[in-house]
Amino acid sequence: MNDAAPGTRLTPAAEAGRLLLIAMAVTAVLVPLLWIAFAAFRTPADLTNPGSFAIDPTLDNMRDIAEGGIPGAALRSIIVGFAVTIIGVFVGALAGYSIARFRTGGIPLRFAILFPTIIPPTVLAFPLLALALQFNLSDSLIAVIAAHLTIVVPMITWFMTGFFASVPREVEEQAAIDGYGPFAAFWRVVVPNVLPGLGASALLAFMMSWNELFYALVLAPGSSQTLPVAISGFNTFQGVKLGPMSAALLLTVAPVMVLSFVIQKRLVRGLGGSGVKG
Amino acid sequence: MASIRFENVVKHYGAYQAIRNVSFAIPDGEFVVIVGPSGSGKTTMLRAIGGLERVNSGRIFIGDRDVTDLAPKHRDIAFVFQNYALYAHLTVRNNIGFPLKARKMPKDEIMRRVEDVAERTGLKALLDRKPSALSGGQQQRVAIARALVRKPKVFLFDEPLSNLDAQLRLDMRREVLELQQSLGVTSVWVTHDQEEAMAMGDRILVVNHGMVEQNAAPEALYSDPVNAYVARTIGSPTINMLRGKLNGQGLDVEGVRFPLPGGALQGDIMIGVRPEDIHPVKAAADHPNATPPFEAKVQLIELLGARAIMTLLVGNHRLTAVFNRRDLADIREFDTIRVSAAKDRLLYFKPETGERIRL
């Protein structure tokens, strides 16, 4: 680029360093993923042979998990994920709007809202379990959904507060003059302006729930296992069942990756360019 | 079409008085400008007319209807905001059509009206763009088109030109006035720019500290202000205010004598002299009622074309004058010249309250 401002063009050494850093970051992220994808199609014999990269492609691992508890756990994870996403986005968005527009709770609430996410899950897990037992909800999806919401709602509230704050108040006032009541104005004028934020919130909520192990393990270790709990079950007393575990991990990671890849372009564009600057 | 009336309107935020017991009436079809500094309550008054602020007491009427407790959508008004408040997710066409859609007008009627307004405002080619793809001036045009489309009883404008550059501001000013003239809709325009107020208003409300200082036509405000505040606000360059002791010979201001007449007045007085009313004595023949001449040193000449803004020193007092170019003749900076003021245009005020004294 010859039209770069003076002093902003990278020297060849700096350019090489830059590419090296990128390569390292990409490697750190991709190698474990690729290894899982590789291992998912290897036989148990190959897998337990250290130093060997031999592969005799097989679908045994896939067949294995298809017959086990994984499909059921996946379905439960999907149910929990969608419930957490829908409730979390709905409650979090309304709370964020309230804080941004009506200064509900003042400045303190803006910060206090994040406290629950600072507390380690280990502190909250057992009180939550006690509550679940009290209400006869232990080992149920409802308990897991409720536990996930304790993380997701504050996160989305905090995230969406910023988005709502960036929508000019005048736009809502304009809608009020144009003929809409407060709820219709919120729905027709404010929500379309924060759609990228809502999309990002939904994605974050779903991924958080989909990946969450600790609460799910404590609150629903039995017949209501979610996918991460079921996968942790491959770590047995007889050792780790590497093949089926890799297959299950691949099935766990794949949808999230595809999802973020599809959404990412829209998301970044939306996050960067929402609203009309005057 | 409707008149607008305030009756003893009060609005406060906690202890802060934004509108202090204000009453005024704006006749049907006039273009009214509310002018005042920031924090004077001018925008609050506009928002109170629009129903965006609830007033604490008093009544507001649009036409014969008491709208004090009505929601904005029931007041039959249109509002143009300083930041345009366009719907970023909608095209220009849907932005303009939004007020009609909100009122459940049939689709083909909306189409027709939007096309019609777009034609009037020169937006036809831009109808399918998003607001983010428009320039500031175009965005403002969309906001105005959206206000026009519903044919409301009243237009309310909150400093709509302040984000535009100077030339565009002049163009838009003219366009808005022409539109308003052709529609005859009562309009209220808020600005802090007195020149804009003078240029646009059929009537001007000068607002300060939440009160209306004067409600009059531009010419009356300029030549016949009710107090020193209005005199200082209206007119550019700002009026010269001389405060001193008046005696038979003239006004003594800290040891400098200005030979200005005072009629029967004596003692502490403040005299306002418009810069346009100070002339070099050579030209004084054109002004038979000129005051006796006095000497002034020319400190600075700002030539604007047909006129020049003169900064004069009388003793150590600064006076601003506006000379015609032909009166300027061979006057140079640092010359000492003789000037006089137009006698019948002098304005007298009580120095403590700023209240006008009429001779």
Q: Could you name the CATH architecture of B4-233?
A: 3-Layer(aba) Sandwich (3.40)
Residue A149 has pLDDT above 60, yes or no: yes
Of A192, A195, A278, the CB nearest to B84: A278
Residues B83, A192: C-beta atoms closer than 8 Å: no
**pLDDT surpasses 60 at A2:** no
Say what percent of chain A tops pLDDT 90: 42
Could B77 and A189 be called an inter-chain contact, meaning their C-beta atoms sit closer than 8 Å? no
Contact assessment for residue B206 and residue B245, using Cβ atoms and an 8 Å cutoff: no
Sheet with B203-208: strands ordered across: B77-80, B154-158, B186-191, B31-35, B203-208, B211-216
Contact B87 A273 (CB under 8 A): no
What rounded mean pLDDT belongs to chain A? 86
- State which residue of chain A sits closest to B97, comparing Cα positions: A178
Contacts of A178 in chain B (CB under 8 A): 73, 98-99, 102, 146
> Which among B350, B335, B202 has a CA at the least distance from the CA of B270?
B350
pLDDT at residue A101 greater than cutoff 60: yes
Residue A42 lies in a domain: no
pLDDT of residue A110: 80
Quickly state the pLDDT bin for B71 (edges 50, 70, 90): very high
Shortest CA distance to B100 belongs to which of B146, B166, B135?
Answer: B146
Give yes or no for residue B22 having a pLDDT over 90: yes
Give the global pTM. Answer: 0.81
Instruction: Report CB contact under 8 Å: B98, A171.
Output: no
Query: Residues of A with CB below 8 A from B51's CB?
Result: 176-177
Asked if the model's pLDDT at residue A3 lies above 80, the reply is no
Cα gap B160→A170, rounded to integer Å? 13
Range of the domain at A263: 60-271
Q: What is the pLDDT of residue A105?
A: 84
Q: Write the CATH number of the domain with boundaries B240-357.
A: 2.40.50.140
Measure B86 CA to nearest chain A CA, in Å.
7
CB–CB contact A176 B98 (8 Å): no
For residue A234, pLDDT over 90 is answered with: no
- Per the structure block, which two tokens stand in for A271? 């996050």
Closest residue in chain A to residue B154, using alpha carbons only: A177
pLDDT at A238 over 80: no
pLDDT tier for residue A278 given thresholds of 50, 70 and 90: very low
Q: What is the pLDDT of residue A1?
A: 46
A-chain residues within 8 Å CB-CB of B73?
A: 176-181
pLDDT of B129 reads 94
- Contact criterion met (CB < 8 Å) for B83 and A195: no
Helix (H) / strand (E) containing B28: none
pLDDT value at A184 more than 70: yes
Look at residue A181 and give its three-state secondary structure: coil
Residue B232 predicted with pLDDT over 60? yes
Lowest-confidence pick of A251-255, B16-20, B101-105, B269-273: A251-255
CB A65 within 8 A of CB A244: yes
Q: Spell out which residues of chain A touch residue B83, defining contact as CB-CB under 8 Å.
A: 168, 170, 278
The pLDDT score that the predictor gives to residue A275 is 45
State how far residue B269 is from chain A, nearest Cα, in angstroms: 47
Q: Which of A156, A233, A236, A230 is nearest to A197 (CA)?
A: A156
Which residues in chain A have Cβ-Cβ distances shorter than 8 Å to B82?
Answer: 170, 278
Q: What is the mean pLDDT of residues A252-277?
A: 68
What does the DSSP assignment read for B108-171?
HHHHHHHHHHHHHHT-GGGTTS-GGGS-HHHHHHHHHHHHHHT--SEEEEESTTTTS-HHHHHH
Query: Nearest CA of chain B to the CA of A1: how many Å?
Result: 27
Which tops the pLDDT comparison, A252 or B1?
A252
The CA dihedral of B88, B92, B93, B99, to the nearest 10 degrees, is 60
Domain-by-domain residue ranges, chain B? 4-233, 240-357
Chain A residues in contact with B52 (beta carbon < 8 A): 173, 176-177
Q: Give the model confidence (pLDDT) of B104-158 as tens digits.
A: 999 999 999 999 999 988 899 999 999 999 998 999 999 999 999 988 999 999 9
- Using an 8 Å CB-CB cutoff, list chain B residues near A180: 73, 102
A215, part of any domain = yes
Could B102 and A175 be called an inter-chain contact, meaning their C-beta atoms sit closer than 8 Å? yes
Contacts of B77 in chain A (CB under 8 A): 177
Query: Do A219 and A142 form a contact (C-beta atoms < 8 A)?
Result: no
Query: How would you classify residue B334: left for phi > 0, otherwise alpha for psi between -120 and 50, otherwise beta?
Result: left
pLDDT at position A120: 85
Q: Which tokens hold the place of B223?
A: 């030549």
A 167-186 near B (Cβ less than 8 A) = 168, 170-171, 173-181, 184
Inter-residue contact B109 to B100 (CB < 8 Å)? yes
Residue B184's pLDDT band, with cuts at 50, 70 and 90, is very high
Checking ipTM against 0.90, whether it exceeds it is no
Chain B residues within 8 A (CB-CB) of chain A? 50-52, 71-73, 75, 77-79, 81-90, 98-99, 102-103, 131-132, 136, 139, 146, 163
Which chain B residue has its CA at the smallest distance from A171's CA? B85
**Residue A99 vs residue A9, higher pLDDT:** A99
Chain B positions in Cβ-Cβ contact with residue A272 (cut-off 8 Å): none
Section A186-201 average pLDDT? 90
Question: What is d(CA B312, CA A124) in angstroms, rounded to the nearest whole number?
Answer: 78
**pLDDT per residue over B338-354, tens digit each?**
999 998 899 999 999 99
Asked if A177 and B73 count as a contact pair (C-beta separation under 8 A), the reply is yes
pLDDT at A274: 45
Find all residues with CB under 8 Å of B212, minimum gap 6, and list them: B22, B24, B205, B206
Average per-residue pLDDT for chain B: 92
A174–B132 C-beta distance less than 8 A: no
- CB-CB neighbors (< 8 A) of A193 in chain B: 88-89
Q: Which of B96, B98, B105 to mutate to test the interface with A (most CBs of A within 10 A)?
A: B98
Q: Compute the count of residue pairs across chains A and B with CB atoms less than 8 Å apart.
A: 74
A225 falls within a domain: yes
| pLDDT one-digit tens code per residue, A5-15 | 777 777 888 89
Q: Which residues in chain B are contacts of A182 at CB distance < 8 A? A: none
Q: Is residue A272 pLDDT above 60, yes or no?
A: no
Q: Do domains B4-233 and B240-357 have the same CATH topology?
A: no
* Binary contact (B87, A189; C-beta < 8 A): yes
- Which of B75, B132, B146 faces A276 most closely, judged by CB atoms? B132
CB contact under 8 A, B79 and A177: yes
Q: Is the pLDDT of residue A118 over 90?
A: no
pLDDT in tens, B325-341: 888 888 999 999 999 99
Question: Closest partner residue to A168 among B85, B132, B146, by Cβ?
Answer: B85
Q: Round to whole Å and give the CA distance between B159 and B274.
A: 27
Q: Please, which residues 180-239 of chain A have a Cβ atom closer than 8 Å to chain B? A: 180-181, 184, 189, 192-193, 195
Q: How many domains does chain A have?
A: 1
Structure tokens at A225: 């296992």
Interface mutation target, options A194, A276, A277, chain B, most CBs of B under 10 Å: A276
**How do residues A73-94 score in pLDDT, each as one tens digit?**
999 999 999 999 999 999 999 9
Residues of B in contact with A170 (CB under 8 A): 81-83, 85
Here the tokens at position B66 are 């008491």
Higher-pLDDT residue of B8 and A58 is B8
pLDDT at A271: 56
The CATH number of whichever domain residue A122 belongs to comes to: 1.10.3720.10
Is the link from the previous residue into B237 a cis peptide, with omega within 30 of 0?
Answer: yes
Between chains, do B88 and A178 touch, taking CB under 8 Å as contact? no
Mean pLDDT confidence for B205-232: 95
